Amino acid sequence: MKKIISILFVSALFTVSAYAGGMIGIKYGNGDLEGTKDAYTAGSNSYSAQSASKDHEFGAIFAEVNLPNHPVSIGLEYIPYTATVSVDGNSADSHLELSEHTTLYALISNSIGDGDASAYFKIGYAMADIGGVKANYATTTVNSNDDSLEGPMIGFGVQSASFGFGLVARLEATVTDYDAVSVTTTSNGSSSVKKTADAELTTVTISLAKTF
């Protein structure tokens, strides 16, 4: 799905850019990922819900095209790194490798002040791949797991006026609310147990982009 969206976006980039502007840029900042494991029962034991968070610096690349005669842009953002997400919070936890994080979004901007600076609101949908899932305990076997993570994103920011060579800077904050993901495991030969968790990612970033 992400490859199809990327191909469509690149096609739109070359088609629309002949009639309207856009930009290509890089961003850097901090992301805070908060995960919540749902309560579950394994045999005669019950485990309560748990939450944990982790923040880390990250980078991303993005491209946008402006819709002609509208203050709206369509963009695609890609985070070129792999992150590890824990589904369970105890010593027998299972880990998901999260990669290929891609967000398709629409951005609505409005000029502020006397110059070309602007404030904007963005809304989109984020998607990522879930790779090799493993359990820390040798007695725990992973039977099945979800292979994707996705959810809606909203954000807001401010963009500077051009300061030479068509360059602009941005300061931005976003929140992505991911859908729940699950993994089914078997421990010590007992019946299989489905463990479910969801997550929310909050980011604060600065960007530098070249307009065209």
Domain count, the chain: 1
Q: What is the CATH number of the domain that holds 29?
A: 2.40.160.20
Strand duo 83-86 + 72-79: pairing:
unpaired
Question: In angstroms, how far apart are the furthest CA atoms of the chain?
Answer: 70
- Highest mean pLDDT of the ranges 11-20, 25-34, 92-101, 134-143: 25-34
Q: How far apart (Å, rounded) are the C-alpha atoms in residues 180 and 168? A: 36
Q: Report percent pLDDT > 70 for the chain.
A: 85
Lowest average pLDDT, out of 64-73, 74-83, 179-188, goes to 179-188
DSSP letter assigned to residue 54 = E
Quote the pLDDT of residue 2: 54
pLDDT band at 86 (very low <50, low <70, confident <90, very high): low
Quote the pLDDT of residue 75: 95
Q: Which two tokens stand for residue 143?
A: 């039977």
Would you list the DSSP string of 19-52? TS-EEEEEEEEEEEEEEEEPPEEETTEEE--EEE
Quote the pLDDT of residue 28: 97
User: Residues near 107 by Cβ (< 8 Å), separated by ≥ 6?
Assistant: 64, 72, 73, 74, 75, 120, 121, 122
| pTM beyond 0.85, yes or no | no
Strand duo 22-37 + 193-211: pairing:
antiparallel
pLDDT tens digits, residue range 89-131? 554 456 778 899 999 999 999 998 877 899 999 999 999 998 8
Single-letter code of the amino acid located at 119: A
Quote the pLDDT of residue 81: 84
Q: How far apart (Å, rounded) are the C-alpha atoms in residues 118 and 200? A: 27
Range of the domain at 19: 2-211
